[in-house]
């Protein structure tokens, strides 16, 4: 609704490039669920995905390539790029040069320098540019952020974050390609999430140490990676991303001077979206998990044996990202995730790649 008149806002028309996992499971449903946004056009050359898009979003237009989308640039208000990583920079540049605001699925680019070039172009054109970092709105991460803000842990000393899976056989495809041009592997996939979360909580990185391995037979890109960040603030972040973890560790273990918080399991929103469930505005609970999945807060006890106090997990809230995008487009305000923040995370990922290759700690110079 328009805040001054109480009348419905004319929806902003969104063009979505890509209808694979990211486009069909995350972006399209969240765009469609956001008041003030309308999914107008989907770009995919796959006839099956074209039919899927129309079935899932009646009235949407499908086109086979991005050129057909950009030919209609004057009819659109936002471009969302959910295509393979290697296409992110050229497509974002084309959209910005066409005068269109852009959301890009993570990673925004392969390097911090490329991200900064896009950011400069967006600023020069007065256009919004944002990276889709939905994991900032995971239920467990929201809970960690609140515990820290409330001082429940005391002074945080070490932040442990794991995004682990047991997938002993590679699936193939560009995400697992060893071709550097594809920007595949877990470091740039799940690593983009855990690094962004750590920087969001504790500020810029001073040093980075990493270990990356290719464990599975037939795999080409890293599938088992560890990243250690020493933040300028003094907090140490230990981050794991893996497809080869036969026994999963806690999603978060946050250790402070007064208490620690341990949380197992994954936010339920991705699973819900994959099952076809959708967030709604009618008050239906979204992103809520069972009490049995809550994390525990305490000191000197083991959460696995019932030690510590259960902490109710805040609901996950992926819809908040596109609601903030819609508001930023209307008001000219700051997007929920900036291109500068994406560049900061990419700087850490680049340092991690260099650290693993050279078996050394990499120092990151302050950029601002």
* pLDDT tens, residue by residue, 141-179: 999 999 999 999 999 999 999 999 999 999 888 888 988
Q: Which two tokens stand for residue 224?
A: 């088992």
Q: CB–CB of 16/23 below 8 Å? A: yes
Cα 156 to Cα 78: distance, rounded to the nearest angstrom:
39
Q: What pLDDT score does 5 carry?
A: 46
* pLDDT tens, residue by residue, 170-207: 988 888 898 898 899 999 999 999 999 999 999 999 99
**CA 200 centroid distance within chain:** 12
The answer to whether the bond into 107 is cis (omega within 30° of 0) is yes
Cα 73 to Cα 81: distance, rounded to the nearest angstrom:
14
Q: How many contiguous H segments (helices) and E segments (strands) does the chain have?
A: 11, 15
Cα 227 to Cα 223: distance, rounded to the nearest angstrom:
13
Q: What pLDDT score does 4 carry?
A: 46
Length reported for the chain: 368
Q: Which two tokens stand for residue 334?
A: 């700051």
Domain range list for the chain: 12-132+321-334, 135-317+349-358
List C-alpha distances in Å: 64 to 43, 49, 67, 70, 292.
Answer: 6, 10, 9, 12, 46
Q: Which of 329, 321, 274 is nearest to 106 (CA)?
A: 321
Successive 10-residue mean pLDDT values, the chain, 368 residues: 58 98 97 97 98 97 97 96 97 98 97 98 98 98 98 98 96 88 93 98 98 94 97 98 97 98 97 95 90 96 82 98 98 97 98 98 86
Residue 280 per-residue DSSP state: -
Cα 83 to Cα 132: distance, rounded to the nearest angstrom:
13
**At CA 354, angle to CA 349 and CA 358, rounded to 5?**
150
Same topology, domains 12-132+321-334 and 135-317+349-358? Answer is: no
**CATH code that applies to domain 135-317+349-358:** 3.30.360.10
Q: CB–CB of 128/328 below 8 Å? A: yes
User: What CATH class is the domain 12-132+321-334?
Assistant: alpha beta
Q: Across the chain, where does the E strand assignment appear?
A: 12-17, 37-43, 61-63, 78-81, 102-105, 129-132, 156-164, 205-213, 224-231, 236-242, 252-256, 260-263, 295-298, 309-311, 362-363
């Amino acid at each position: 609704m328009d805040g001054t008149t109480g009348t419905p806002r004319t929806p902003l028309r969104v063009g979505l490039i890509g209808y694979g996992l990211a486009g069909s499971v995350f972006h399209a449903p969240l765009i469609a669920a956001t008041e003030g946004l309308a999914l107008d056009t989907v770009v995919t050359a796959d006839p099956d995905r074209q039919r899927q898009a129309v079935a899932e979003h009646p009235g949407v237009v499908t086109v086979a390539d991005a050129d057909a989308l950009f030919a209609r640039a004057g009819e659109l208000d936002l471009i969302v790029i959910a295509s393979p990583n290697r296409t992110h920079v050229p497509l974002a540049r084309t959209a910005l040069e066409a005068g269109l605001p852009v959301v890009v699925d993570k990673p925004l680019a392969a390097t911090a320098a490329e991200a900064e070039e896009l950011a400069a172009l967006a600023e020069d054109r007065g256009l919004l540019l944002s990276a889709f970092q939905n994991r900032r709105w995971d239920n467990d991460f929201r809970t960690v952020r609140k515990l820290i803000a409330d001082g429940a842990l005391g002074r945080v000393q070490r932040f442990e974050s794991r995004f682990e899976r047991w997938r002993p056989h590679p699936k193939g495809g560009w995400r697992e390609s060893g071709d550097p041009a594809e920007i595949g592997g877990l470091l740039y996939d799940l690593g983009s999430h855990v690094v962004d979360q750590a920087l969001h909580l504790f500020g810029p990185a001073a040093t980075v140490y990493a270990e990356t391995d290719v464990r599975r037979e037939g795999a080409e890109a890293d599938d088992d990676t560890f990243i250690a960040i020493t933040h300028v603030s003094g907090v140490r972040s230990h981050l794991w991303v893996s497809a080869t973890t036969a026994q999963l560790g806690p999603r978060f273990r946050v250790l402070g001077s007064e208490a620690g918080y341990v949380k197992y399991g994954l936010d339920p929103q991705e699973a819900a979206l994959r099952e076809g469930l959708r967030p709604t505005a009618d008050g239906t609970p979204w992103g809520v998990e069972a009490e049995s999945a809550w994390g525990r807060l305490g000191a000197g006890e083991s959460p696995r044996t019932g030690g510590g106090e259960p902490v109710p997990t805040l609901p996950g809230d992926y819809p908040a990202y596109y609601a903030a995008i819609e508001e930023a487009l209307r008001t000219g305000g700051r997007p929920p995730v900036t291109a500068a923040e994406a560049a900061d995370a990419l700087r850490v990922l680049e340092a991690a790649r260099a650290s693993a290759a050279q078996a050394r700690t990499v120092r990151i110079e302050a950029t601002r």
